[in-house]
Amino acid sequence: MTRRPFLLLLLSLWLAPAFAADTAPLAPEGDTGRYTLSAAQGEQAMVVTANPHATEAALAMLRAGGSAIDAAIAAQAVLGLVEPQSSGFGGGAFLVYHDGKRIRSFDGRETAPAAAREDRFLDRDGAPLPFHAAVASGRGIGVPGVLAALHAAHRQHGRLPFADTLAPAIRLARDGFAISPRLHELIARDPLLRGNAGTRAYFFTPDGTPLPAGHVLRNPAYAATLATLARDGAQALYRGPLARELIAALNAQGADFTARDWRRYRPRVSAALCAPYRRWEVCSAPPPSGGWTVLQTLRLLDGFTPTDSRARNLHRLLEAERLAFADRQRYSADPAFIPVPLEGLLSPGYVAARRLLIGGKSLQVAPAGIPPGLRKPWGDDGQLLENGTTHLSIVDARGHWLSMTSSIEDAFGSRVMAGGMLFNNQLTDFSFLPREKGRLLANRVAPGKRPRSAMAPVIVRDATGRPVLATGSPGGSRIIGYVLHTLVASLDEGLAPAEVVALPLVLSRNGPTEFDSDFPPALKTELEAFGQVFKAGDLNSGIGLIRRHDGRLQGAADPRREGRAAGY
């Protein structure tokens, strides 16, 4: 037996009492209550992020003449400080950007190191490790990509010097910020933060008490890292002294990077993936993002005319979600390694055949289909361990639109800090098992591969090609359902952003119908008549929504988190 599986086995046994009941937290950050709904209107520009500090930083860039990309860099740098449980330069992102003519995708998803093998998350008996054992091992950390993606977008669309976009976060890290009630509660709940010396020293008092809400938290190490990036450029994260320091710190905590793993990282820049829906065009990021599953669901739904019955409309949406999610669990993976049959999955004939399965009674669990062009019969992956995440939507005064979903995966990621940043555990988004019932899984681990993601940032255009909506959400594998809920409420029902983000949530990940505690009982009863079987869930979305309506921009931040919308 090799040393690594033995150590991971010991770790899994140590963590087993705490996590025996389930293999992953279904709500990675958890519900910390409702916050005051933030909504705004503006004539020229709009920002929606998950934290007021980040929104202010983004607005400052826009007021200084910056682009939506400049604003996004500033917001992300701040979010990594004030919302460290969700995202940061130690993680990855998918970004779609409308530059006034076309929509481009910037894929900053993390990659597995060269040392990664398909048994990475298996114990010595070939069984999958408990989720948090895999997280705490350090083997879930992937090469971070969000900064590389933002830097690539900045080279094309930035208007301010890169150093200027980091200035708000540097000041805030040096001067400190007040810990929010949400951050305090999530620190107090987390069972792994105390187990790592770096996070224990940063988030707790010397006697192990979680730092209270209102405590002014300073992060000089993060300020120093950002100052290096401001001076030397974003590439300093991937090569040179800073990169070597970060790699050494992460490897000391169980990662297995080489300098070459980081030096070779490149974001993927391509056309966005778009598909028609009714009288609009909906665009998102290509695989391995969850965008194609959103588009397939909409294409399934597009064959139905909305009725006066909200229950019937929701039933059809839930059934379409089941069918698309079944395909997602079989076919979604990194297209550089696995031939994802996108053309077949989104083709009119295949979608029409799948739509015939949507009837008056729920399928409850839908089978995956066999799209045209399929070259290999992959196995069905039942894993739903993806967590994560924050979302920001931005429109600048030049009419450029940005939608970006960014993540470090689990709440507080790997719980490993280096350079003042928390690093991701995104490699646990890979399928822990490489095979299921004798068939290889498309999303199995491989060196250099990007794990499947549910992140699905969206920009919608009208028939003239003008953007009318930008949205996305955190929420792990529920992201797909959250984004669909937002699109259907906005496009089919015509609701304003403030109305949309406050709606009770309901979705299906090809299993029970999951619903918010405030979901209307009468509507639930109507859906049960369609055969929908309900399961209460902690549906902690974080929708960031901007709509152009009657010549004005409207923005709203999900009240389930502490976000803020602001514009001018």
- Quick check: bond before 341 cis, omega within 30? no
Which residue is listed with tokens 């929701």? 314
* C-alpha to C-alpha distance for 80 and 106, rounded to whole angstroms: 19
CB 398 within 8 A of CB 67: yes
Tell me whether residue 389 is one of the annotated catalytic residues: yes
CB 321, CB 481: distance < 8 Å: yes
CA–CA separation, 101 and 104 (whole Å): 10
**Helices and strands in the chain, H and E counts:** 18, 23
In 3D space, the residue among 462, 467, 509 whose CA is nearest the CA of residue 484 turns out to be 509
In this prediction, residue 326 carries a pLDDT of 98
How far apart are the two ends of the chain, measured CA to CA in Å?
62
In single-letter form, the type of residue at position 177 comes to F
Token pair of 61, please? 């860039």
Give me the catalytic one of 32, 165, 389, 513: 389
- 247 Cβ contact list (under 8 Å, min separation 6): 255, 257, 258, 259, 262
CA 362 to chain centre: 28
User: What's the confidence (pLDDT) of residue 490?
Assistant: 98
Residue 281 pLDDT: 98
List the one residue out of 545, 506, 519 whose CA is nearest residue 317. Answer: 506
pLDDT at 17 (0 to 100): 32
Question: What's the confidence (pLDDT) of residue 538?
Answer: 81
CB 453 within 8 A of CB 94: yes
Q: Could you count the other beta carbons within 10 Å of the beta carbon of residue 547?
A: 26
Interacting residues of 493 by C-beta distance below 8 A, sequence separation 6+: none
Q: Supply 1's token pair.
A: 């037996």
Count of beta carbons in the 10 Å neighbourhood of residue 228:
18
Angle 481-338-145 (CA atoms, 0-180°, nearest 5)? 65
Hey, CA dihedral for 65, 71, 75, 77, is it positive or negative?
Answer: negative
Give start and end residues of each alpha helix (H) in 411-518: 479-487, 497-502
| C-beta of residue 29 within 8 angstroms of C-beta of residue 43 | no
Low-confidence ranges of the chain (pLDDT < 70): 1-28, 385-388
Q: Domain 34-108+120-176+218-264+383-567 belongs to what topology?
A: Glutamine Phosphoribosylpyrophosphate, subunit 1, domain 1 (3.60.20)
* Maximum separation of any 2 CA atoms in the chain, in Å: 67
How much is the pLDDT for 377?
86
Bond prior to 288 in cis (omega within 30° of 0): yes
Alpha carbon 123 to chain centroid, angstroms: 28
Q: Which residues pair with 460 in a beta bridge?
A: 282, 469
